[in-house]
Amino acid sequence: MNVIELQRRRAEAAVKSLNTLPALPGTAVRLLAELGPSGADARRLAALVNQDMGLAAKVLRVANSPFYGQSRSIDSVERALVLLGLDVVRNIAVASSLDPLFRGGQIGPGFHMRELWRHSLAVALLADSIAHQFLPAARPQAFIAGLLHDIGILVAVHVLPSEFLQLVGDVAQYVDADRTLLAELELRHLGATHDELGAALLEHWLIPEPLLRVAANHHHTSSDAGCAPSGAASTEDPLIALVALADRLSTEVGQPIGLDGRPPTRLAEACAGLGLEDAALTNLVALEQGRIEALATQLSG
Ligand SMILES: [Fe+2]
Ligand SMILES: [Fe+2]
């Protein structure tokens, strides 16, 4: 059997064993499955969250935290929907549901599950902020797309634990490894890249196609190679370009993840074909820096 064939078989085996992942709470599955282009319906969202008392309590705690700056206290999911809006409540509910999957401490040299979670939150918040200012049409899905973009790493941790340990051991030997080398190491150890594993998991969870495409392609955009010639990225899916840019900017807010192979990004290079100005991005990054830790603390409390 040649190497390619072996890799293909291992990727297939990894995908087939996805049912060994920790089960997502039923509410999270339904919340994620309903993230179609038109978003969830407020009444349905409130009903889903209220079905799960633990989740409802957590959503209210986060909604009342200084992070969202509400002067009035929010005592029901319905009130949170009025004051914060449907997208924000749904984002809090999904992040609260996923948080427990990212526990597990240090896994090998230089890799900690909470760092992966903080990186995912950082990309979610950055994508949401960029969309809010520059790409309003992408905003309903920006936060969740950012949150899920590296979920393939979670698959590797749970499904291929010994192979993943070897991978992080290998990666630790390379300082500033680029994405091409890291993808080669992933193929060697896991039989698939984290992009492929993430897409397979989201398909398994019946997550809407646009979010699956982000997980599958976030390392295959023009922004990954630096500034694209203007127009080259215009054919790109804006949601993918948005998350790829947020992923690069995660180094600016001190939340990179080594397995992504993102070199420290100079803002002048982070264009992603979205037509954003450096100054606007600099302000945005400065604003988000303190918020990421605050949200991570609220969600894990
Ligand atoms: Fe990432
Ligand atoms: Fe990634």
Higher pLDDT, 12 or 139: 139
pLDDT tens digits, one per residue of 21-60: 656 667 777 787 766 555 568 888 899 899 889 889 999 9
Q: Where are the alpha helices (DSSP H) in the chain?
A: 3-16, 26-33, 42-51, 53-63, 77-84, 86-98, 113-134, 139-148, 151-159, 161-171, 179-190, 194-204, 209-217, 238-249, 278-300
Ligand nearest to the CA of 249: 1
Q: Are 247 and 260 in contact (CB under 8 A)?
A: yes
Q: From the CA of 216, how far away is ligand 1's center (Å)? A: 12
Q: From the CA of 261, how far away is ligand 1's center (Å)? A: 9
Is residue 163's pLDDT more than 80?
yes
Q: From the CA of 238, how far away is ligand 2's center (Å)? A: 17
- Angle at which helices 209-217 and 238-249 cross, to 10°: 50
Q: Are 146 and 246 in contact (CB under 8 A)?
A: yes
Using CA atoms, how far apart are residues 179 and 157, in angstroms rounded to an integer? 19
Average pLDDT of the residues of the chain = 81
Using CA atoms, how far apart are residues 148 and 123, in angstroms rounded to an integer? 9
Closest of 73, 72, 71, 27 to residue 49, by C-alpha: 27
Q: From the CA of 104, how far away is ligand 2's center (Å)? A: 19
pLDDT tens digits, one per residue of 73-116: 999 999 999 999 988 999 999 999 888 888 888 888 888 999 99
Average pLDDT of the residues in 272-297: 74
Q: Is residue 264 packed enough to be buried (19+ CB in 10 Å), middle (13-18) or exposed (0-12)?
A: exposed
Q: From the CA of 32, how far away is ligand 1's center (Å)? A: 20
Average pLDDT of the residues in 214-239: 62
Q: Where are the domains of the chain?
A: 3-22+104-300
Q: From the CA of 43, how far away is ligand 2's center (Å)? A: 34
Structure tokens given for 215: 């997980």
Q: Are 125 and 289 in contact (CB under 8 A)?
A: no
Contacts of 3 (CB under 8 A, 6+ apart): none
The C-alpha angle 96, 216, 143, rounded to 5 degrees, equals: 35
Q: Are 301 and 61 in contact (CB under 8 A)?
A: yes
Topology of domain 3-22+104-300 in CATH is Hypothetical protein af1432 (1.10.3210)
